[in-house]
Copies of this chain bind each other. A is one copy, B any other.
């Protein structure tokens, strides 16, 4: 298996991506144009990303007090990515885009994440510009988004602060109107911002001519107080360098200063920063405070920010998936070439025989098939979600609404599941390498380190679980959950008619019922603390059920293809692995949900 063969199968045999081309927006496209995009991205990733993945891990960003230095390879990768047109691939032709379906964009971007997850930060720039396209004024779109799509400027998302990570309602950054004429600035209502933002990826560098920060801050009322909670949050464009209404650099720095770089366990190719806004290091117009332009309406900042959250969370899920995939492919290659040990015979091992390669040992095969079932399954899930994004944007009203609601329910899984299980895949990849896997001479330890971030950023595991159990499965009177169950049941109905898949179908049906009754039992008392004490185990079980469904649906596509080649055999085995080794795990997770187990929640602090 290769990443490309997997993507090809999932896009063309399973998701039938070319059918999108019957829609007006995508009507110029064909499998040929999709393939051309995939070819280009695969090539750039192979040439400009993969060879430098270790280098960007060891040559971390360096700040000399003035500028942040990154390796030349990072500049080259950035340039090649921008030149590929991927930053604006999904945009209208008018905007220099190619009106590419998001499904294909996501698949094409997977090559970069697999080759070197941290060398590029294109996802942030695209997400930033997409947000402006949705919520910005024409001037904001033309000045900021346009330069981002072109790759001349890059973008960030500034949500967290040192004292406010998961709890965004506590952001302390303040924005005050900048002068009497602040409402009439051509770039949007102009404010002065003061505060600190933490964990800002790509927050400072010399890769692009300018950096466009999207910053959450609160606007104090006439009494100088801010509205508590997330309702008080507004969103601002804060460029690193000031620009004219026509989008030219004025030559003046905005008051955004790098306070320090974070030194992380992994993901070291991307600068990660603490930024000071308005500390007075630079004083545009001779005044303190970073100049920012309001996006959308005051108090609706988080709502605007969440516009990009679904795609960002799919992006995180895809990154986790691709780190897992990179480890799988590396350990598969190692297992095919490393001789060690001998076959097991009834009479023991014959030491006079030559050694076999470790892929011939059952336990190594188990570790490989586990990785394949986690990573190829997760890839299928992410592409399925990307396909829903396209449906939401280009389907008919009913279908778009269903896609929206399914996405709401599936997003916490798309983000959390690969973060947990493709990390486990990376650990198995290390294990297959033995002692060598524990050294920096092989790539797998880096994948494992890089991947550990994904359960943390863009909403922790715990936050995703609360989102799922407290919001998503309840919203619209449970319609999202019903919709998902309906889709799962459709797959079950088709699979149950095939002798090879009927047992899986029955197992999935039982799992779905278990999840359904656990959901009810969790909320039986109506008390959130009862229900949510075990939100993470619930999400783990929910995720495994979703993945079992995805694998069963993929298995149906394998069988429908009529192929019985090695790749088909491998996918059916990965599905079987998931049903035999993984799905049965949900029982243990759901048990504590069903009983609303308070063992942890009730334990007093001094008993730990």
Contacts and interface: CB of A to CB of B under 8 A. Distances in A.
A331 to B, nearest CB: 10
Interface string A429-464: 011001101111100010011001101110011100
Interface in A106-123: none
B456 A434 contact: yes
Given A340-B167, A434-B456, A456-B435, A351 B230 contact: yes
Given A592-B580, A607-B573, A355 B170 contact: yes
B584 A591 contact: yes
Interface stretch (A64-72, A158-166, A178-186): A158-166
A114 to B, nearest CB: 17
Given A160-B435, A228-B352, A452-B438, A369 B603 contact: yes
B569 A339 contact: no
Contacts of A24: none
Most buried by B among A355, A456, A527: A456
Contacts of A600: 362, 365-366, 368-369, 573, 577
B566 A606 contact: yes
A216 interface: no
Contact of A435 (B199, B584, B585): B199
Contacts of A580: 591-592, 595, 597, 599
A366 B263 contact: no
A487 interface: no
Nearest to A169: B351
Interface in A340-358: 340-342, 344-346, 349, 351-352, 355
Interface in A391-448: 427, 430-431, 434-435, 437-441, 445, 448
B362 A607 contact: no
Contacts of A584: 587-588, 591
B608 A165 contact: no
A554 to B, nearest CB: 15
A438 B607 CA distance: 27
Interface in A565-595: 566-567, 569-570, 573, 576-577, 580-582, 584-585, 587-588, 591-592, 595
Contacts of A455: 431
Contacts of A535: 363
Contacts of A534: 366
Given A169-B349, A430-B456, A581-B588, 7 more contacts: A265-B440, A359-B605, A362-B532, A430-B452, A448-B452, A581-B599, A582-B588
27 contacts: A160-B435, A163-B339, A165-B434, A167-B342, A169-B349, A198-B435, A228-B351, A229-B349, A229-B352, A263-B439, A332-B608, A344-B528, A362-B532, A362-B533, A363-B466, A364-B462, A365-B600, A366-B534, A366-B600, A369-B600, A434-B456, A434-B460, A569-B604, A573-B607, A576-B599, A577-B599, A581-B597
| Nearest 9 A/B pairs, CB to CB | A229-B351, A570-B607, A584-B588, A228-B351, A362-B601, A366-B600, A265-B445, A566-B606, A362-B533
